[in-house]
């Protein structure tokens, strides 16, 4: 290990260690100074307006004091940011280095970390992994190349790449690599135990993942990736990257992540704070729709039995009769041959202009009569919400970017509503078309044809051993030949006819720190199985806990998107997994949850 590399780390670690107490003290002093200034302003805050000159002097004094407070606030914000970054970098100051040469200039080392760090003079000691220059590290190129910065193409020569394993001031390992990631280090990360929440992948982002994270040319990014390809991690790294790119305009409150369930939301919590960002907003689709429904006075308890796909066509057709509840004058200002939605949107604008909008939009129209005019049995509250969103042209303007995970599980009604509500937001939709457990997944691009859309794929599976990857690949349909594994072969998946659950817990010798999942076909079977265990973790879609060390009991629908060290799948030969239409997909999902060991139990 090079002495110069060890020395550089120790110098930077010493710098961070010294800066933390200095910045802490500086923040305290700035806070006290600000309080003193405000106190002085309060005691001397009378306005002397006796003469014109005295008035000017008084306002000049107030302006000077305001500028002083603004300066103090700016200095405090800078110190607070440096302090937070120093604390974040102290355990691992950086994870990589690239040596770059610009034209004929002398080559320079650039150290990459989770966040950037400047010294007191403003010199870059560590570059943020999201900085433009870091792209040459992730892009898997050596020699002459370029990167984009401030709208310009910057030519550069990459002379060397190094990746590091660091523990505070100790340089444990350094790997010189022609690739973006050194294989030994990547495999060491992949071999780590899976418990607790999802971990950030900043140090191990691969080239195909990097392309998705940094994609900026399209408003809608559609990602289709195989099991274990890091889709969720990529989505979260993209959230962090977007926050960095738009750091002067966006905050985490401008980002929204739609997750499949509460347990999954808990699983991904903590990734963004580990990268120096606050947690973005996250919710399930049902919770989002219920909140949106309340804006229109609608109580939505279910999304079932809706007619959104039918309504999407019906509102584009003419509707000559005036809808009951609407002022005829508002409707009749448009042509009878115009579409229903064009006439209704015009009517809504007319009502707004004449200050006649309904006080309760949910009671505005006669929904039963409108349903009857379209030969529909009823219009559910969910249907009514869709119609009101379209009629009022409601658009969510507070969400700059929307992210949807497990996108393959959502039906057409979801995309119809999301496309309408978030038409001004950037969208990143991530999923795997082979992980749909029931029903048919619609073609997502069809819902966003008015946006610049790009389709990207992830075909390398990093999560599991080679043996497990090979096993679940056989159920992957058109993915089968595309899936590439990177881990060693490992233990061959094991088939057993049954397990004596009464004695299983005491007989199981799970290595310390590892997680074991017992995946059942349904929630009811997971709840029933839990009766045999005294200290297992039962996970359901509404639970607020996530993957734990030890034994986890959960159904396949909850297990989607999660990963564990060891997995036992029950009912492998049951009708659930033998289903002629969805059985292969279910086996693909179940068998791909484990990373080190997989057991298939024929019975329940």
For the residues of 395-429, what is the DSSP string, one character each? ---S-SEEEESSGGG--HHHHHHHHHHTTTSEEEE
Q: Check the annotation: does 229 bind a ligand.
A: yes
Task: Match 């990631």 to its residue by tokens.
Answer: 181
Does the annotation list 230 as a binding residue? yes
Q: Evaluate the CA torsion angle 392, 396, 397, 400 in order and state its sign.
A: negative
* Kind plus residue range of the DSSP H or E element containing 541: none
133 is in an annotated binding site: no
Q: Smallest Cα–Cα separation from 561: which of 287, 138, 266?
A: 266
Lookup: tokens for 319: 């509707």
Q: What is the sign of the dihedral through the CA atoms of 215, 220, 222 and 223? A: positive
Q: Which residue has the tokens 């004058």?
A: 329
- 232 marked among binding-site residues: yes
Helical (H) or strand (E) element with 337 = none
3-class DSSP string for 292-310: HHHHCCCCCCCCCCCCHHH
Query: CA 534 to CA 222: how far, in whole Å?
Result: 43
- Angle, helices 285-295 vs 412-421, to 10°: value is 50
Q: Is 45 helix (H, G, I), strand (E, B) or coil?
A: coil
| Residue whose structure tokens are 């405000």 | 38
Alpha-carbon gap, residue 213 to 130, rounded angstroms: 9
Determine the angle formed by the axes of helices 381-392 and 285-295, rounding to 10 degrees. Answer: 60
How far are the Cα atoms of 89, 437, 495, 574 from residue 603, in angstroms, in the given order? 49, 20, 11, 7
Instruction: Confirm whether residue 226 is marked as ligand binding.
Output: yes
Q: Which residues contact 186 (CB under 8 A, 6 or more apart)?
A: 204, 462, 486
228 is in an annotated binding site: yes
State both tokens at 396. Answer: 């969510």
What does the DSSP assignment read for 271-334? TTGGGT-PPPEEEEHHHHHHHHHHHTT------TT--HHHHHHHTTSB--SPPTTS-HHHHTTS
384 class by beta-carbon count within 10 Å (0-12 exposed, 13-18 middle, 19+ buried): buried
* Binding-site annotation: residue ranges for ATP: 225-232
* Binding-site annotation: residue ranges: 225-232
């Amino acid at each position: 290990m090079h002495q110069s590399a060890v020395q550089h780390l120790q110098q930077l670690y010493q710098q961070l260690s010294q800066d933390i107490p200095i910045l802490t003290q500086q923040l305290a002093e700035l806070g006290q100074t600000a309080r003193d200034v405000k106190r002085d302003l309060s005691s001397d805050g009378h306005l002397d307006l006796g003469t014109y000159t005295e008035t000017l002097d008084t306002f000049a004094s107030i302006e000077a004091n305001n500028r002083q407070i603004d300066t103090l606030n700016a200095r405090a914000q800078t110190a607070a940011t440096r302090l937070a970054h120093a604390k974040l970098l102290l355990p691992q100051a950086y994870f990589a280095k690239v040596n770059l040469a610009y034209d004929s200039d002398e080559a320079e080392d650039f150290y990459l970390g989770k966040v950037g760090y400047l010294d007191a003079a403003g010199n870059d000691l560590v570059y943020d992994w999201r900085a433009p220059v870091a792209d040459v590290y992730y892009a898997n190129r050596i020699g002459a190349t370029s990167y984009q910065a401030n709208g310009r193409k910057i030519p550069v020569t990459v002379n060397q790449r190094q990746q590091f394993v660091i523990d505070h001031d100790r340089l444990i390992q350094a790997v010189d690599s022609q690739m973006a990631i050194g294989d030994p280090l990547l495999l060491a990360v992949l071999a780590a135990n899976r418990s607790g929440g999802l971990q950030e992948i900043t140090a191990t982002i691969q080239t195909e993942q990097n392309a998705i994270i940094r994609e900026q040319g399209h408003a809608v990014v559609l990602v289709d990736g195989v099991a274990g390809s890091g889709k969720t991690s990529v989505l979260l790294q993209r959230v962090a990257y977007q926050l960095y790119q738009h750091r002067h305009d966006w905050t985490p409150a401008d980002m929204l992540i739609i997750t499949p369930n509460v347990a999954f939301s808990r699983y991904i919590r903590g990734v963004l704070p580990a990268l120096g960002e606050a947690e973005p907003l996250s919710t399930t689709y049902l919770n989002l729709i219920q909140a949106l429904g309340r804006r229109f006075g609608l109580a939505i308890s279910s999304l079932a039995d809706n007619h959104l796909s039918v309504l999407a066509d019906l509102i584009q057709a003419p509707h000559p009769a005036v809808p009951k509840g609407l002022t005829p004058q508002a409707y009749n200002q448009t042509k009878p041959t115009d579409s229903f939605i064009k006439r209704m949107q015009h009517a809504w604008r007319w009502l707004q202009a004449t200050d006649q909008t309904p006080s309760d939009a949910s009671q505005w129209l006669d929904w039963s009569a409108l349903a009857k005019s379209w030969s529909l049995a009823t219009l559910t509250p969910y249907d009514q919400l869709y119609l009101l969103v379209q009629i009022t042209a409601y658009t969510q303007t507070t969400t700059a970017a929307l992210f949807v995970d497990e996108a393959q599980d959502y039906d057409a009604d979801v995309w119809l509503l999301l496309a309408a509500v978030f038409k001004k937001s950037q969208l990143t939709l991530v999923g795997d078309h082979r992980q749909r457990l029931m029903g048919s997944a619609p073609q997502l691009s069809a819902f966003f044809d008015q946006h610049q859309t790009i389709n990207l794929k992830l075909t390398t599976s990093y999560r599991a051993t080679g043996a497990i990857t090979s096993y679940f690949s056989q159920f992957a349909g058109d993915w089968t030949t595309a899936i590439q594994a990177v881990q060693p072969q490992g233990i061959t998946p094991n088939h057993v006819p049954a397990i004596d659950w009464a004695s299983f817990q005491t007989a199981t010798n799970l290595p310390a720190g590892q997680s074991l999942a017992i995946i059942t076909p349904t929630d009811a079977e997971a709840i029933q199985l839990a009766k045999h265990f005294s200290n297992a973790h039962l996970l359901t879609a509404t639970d607020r806990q996530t993957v734990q060390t030890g034994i986890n009991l959960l159904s396949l629908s909850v297990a989607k998107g999660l990963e564990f060290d060891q997995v036992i799948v029950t009912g492998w030969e049951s009708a659930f997994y033998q289903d002629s239409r969805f059985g292969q997909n279910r086996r693909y999902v179940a068998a791909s949850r484990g990373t080190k060991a997989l057991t298939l139990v024929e019975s329940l």
